[in-house]
Amino acid sequence: MSEFDLIRTHFAALGTSRADVLLGVGDDCAVLAVPAGQRLAVSIDTLASGVHFLADCDAEAIGHKSLAVGLSDLAAMGAEPAWATLALTLPAGLPAAAPDWLADFARGFGRLAQAYGVSLVGGDTTRGPLSITVQVHGFIPAGAEVRRGGARPGDLICVSGTLGDAGLALRALLAGQLPLPTLRARLERPTPRVGLGLALRGRASAMIDVSDGLAADLGHILTASGLAGALDLAALPLSDAVAAAVQTTGDWSLPLASGDDYELCFCLPSVDRDRLADIGARCGCPLTVIGRVERGSGLICTTPAGAPFALAHAGFDHFASPGAYDAS
Ligand code: ADP
Ligand code: MG
């Protein structure tokens, strides 16, 4: 299969067809129309084999996740997804050695794109070690983006969903064990909280998606806002499996510092506390108040017993941490 056959077969019409795509896959550039009054929000992420996913990970899951991580960034700004571009680097053996690999990858990517109204409008396809880069583009009404730096003293610190599920699944996989299917799905097929991000536009004072661990990502909000945070660990929303792991080990790093949660962490003026349950119900994911923004700097965590908890490592950092997917 030539490069052009491959693009035509798998990527020419992936996702939703949209009227604002004036020219999509097939020419030197895509030509796109941003609606009047809207601003373009853009984010790019790379998934590299052995760094962001295990080499034997299912291709459909890789396709899903490579788009999901970008949609999660759009969600964290309050942006509405519109377009994606895809740079794919494939090892010499692919797709010949794994004829279904590209079809499976495209299915995972395409399904998620359909679900969120995203059109794949272009990309690049090259040979090399397996690596996937996706750029996402979304719309935000002028001035309505939710930045990291807008938190105010007294705001509630809130988080969607549950924390640490993906981290627990990864721990099991690296130990050669099979994770629970629900946990594995959280690692390999995260659900970007796009509807929630839109619902929080004009409400949340600051927002971030939790990709590197809650402590690190909330830390970015606090640093950008020039404020401190007090976290009540007893309030963290945990699945039964993560709660049991924390109970057994007494180690809170699983919900605080393992990556790949793809939940939204946001700050909310305390007068809006009563609206949280309703917003969560409308968006189909539970929302939990886990702490409060305070004057000062840094993040203070208090255990259910009332003791301070200090994290050894705040979260995943490609240049400071050992690779999350290195079994060694
Ligand atoms: P050029 O050499 O002019 O940069 P390419 O030959 O790389 O163009 O790509 C041809 C067309 O196919 C372009 O419209 C490009 O955006 C699209 N394309 C290439 N690879 C992909 C891909 N993996 N996914 C989606 N579109 C792709
Ligand atoms: Mg060209």
User: With left for phi above 0 and alpha for psi between -120 and 50, is residue 236 left, alpha or beta?
Assistant: beta
Q: Decide: 28 in ligand 1 pocket, CB within 6 A.
A: yes
pLDDT digit string, tens, across residues 165-207: 999 999 999 999 999 999 999 999 999 999 999 999 999 999 9
Distance between CA 31 and CA 121 in Å, rounded? 9
328: confidence class by pLDDT, cuts 50, 70, 90: very low
Contact 54, 325 (CB under 8 A): yes
Q: Decide: 323 in ligand 1 pocket, CB within 6 A.
A: no
CATH of region 156-309, choose from 1.20.1530.20, 3.90.650.10, 3.90.1150.10, 3.20.20.80? 3.90.650.10
Distance between CA 3 and CA 127 in Å, rounded? 10
Q: Decide: 5 in ligand 1 pocket, CB within 6 A.
A: no
Mean pLDDT of 9-15: 92
Residues written for the chain: 328
**Could you tell me the two tokens for 267?**
């700050």
Q: Which of 35-49, 156-170, 216-230, 308-322 has the lowest mean pLDDT?
A: 308-322
Residue burial 280-313, b: 16+ Cβ < 10 Å; e: rest: beebebebbbbbbbbeeeebebbeeeeeebebee
Long-range contacts of 68-71 (CB under 8 A, 24+ apart): 68/112, 68/189, 68/190, 68/191, 68/192, 68/262, 69/45, 69/134, 69/190, 69/192, 69/211, 69/262, 70/43, 70/44, 70/45, 70/134, 70/135, 70/136, 71/112, 71/116, 71/118, 71/136, 71/192, 71/194
Closest CA to 227 of 157, 290, 281, 313: 157
If you take atom 12 of ligand 1, which residue's CA is the nearest one?
Answer: 26
Phi then psi for residue 154, to 5 deg, are 95, -15
**Which residue is it, tokens 């020039």?**
226
Which ligand 1 atom is at minimum distance from the Cα of 3?
6
pLDDT value at residue 327: 39
pLDDT digit string, tens, across residues 80-99: 999 999 999 998 877 666 77
Q: Which residue has the higher pLDDT, 123 or 96?
A: 123
Mean pLDDT of 249-265: 94
Mean pLDDT of 111-115: 98
Which ligand 1 atom is at minimum distance from the Cα of 24?
14
Percent of the chain predicted with pLDDT > 90: 83
Which ligand 1 atom is at minimum distance from the Cα of 26?
14
Helix (H) / strand (E) element for 287: namely: strand 287-294
Amino acid at 300: I
If you take atom 27 of ligand 1, which residue's CA is the nearest one?
Answer: 123
**Looking at the CA of 84, which ligand is closest?**
1
Mean pLDDT of 144-157: 98
Q: Which of 84-98, 130-144, 275-289, 308-322 has the lowest mean pLDDT?
A: 308-322
Closest CA to 162 of 246, 67, 50, 271: 246
Phi then psi for residue 63, to 5 deg, are -60, -45
pLDDT value at residue 304: 95
Mean pLDDT of 2-13: 87
Q: Where are the domains of the chain?
A: 3-141, 156-309
**Looking at the CA of 105, which ligand is closest?**
1
Long-range contacts of 243-250 (CB under 8 A, 24+ apart): 245/164, 245/168, 246/164
316: confidence class by pLDDT, cuts 50, 70, 90: low
Distance from Cα 125 to the centre of ligand 1, integer Å = 7
Amino acid at 226: G
Asked whether the whole model's pTM tops 0.85, one would answer yes
Q: Which residue has the higher pLDDT, 260 or 55?
A: 260
Distance from Cα 8 to the centre of ligand 1, integer Å = 9
Which ligand 1 atom is at minimum distance from the Cα of 29?
14
Q: Decide: 11 in ligand 1 pocket, CB within 6 A.
A: yes
Mean pLDDT of 293-307: 96
CATH of domain 3-141: 3.30.1330.10
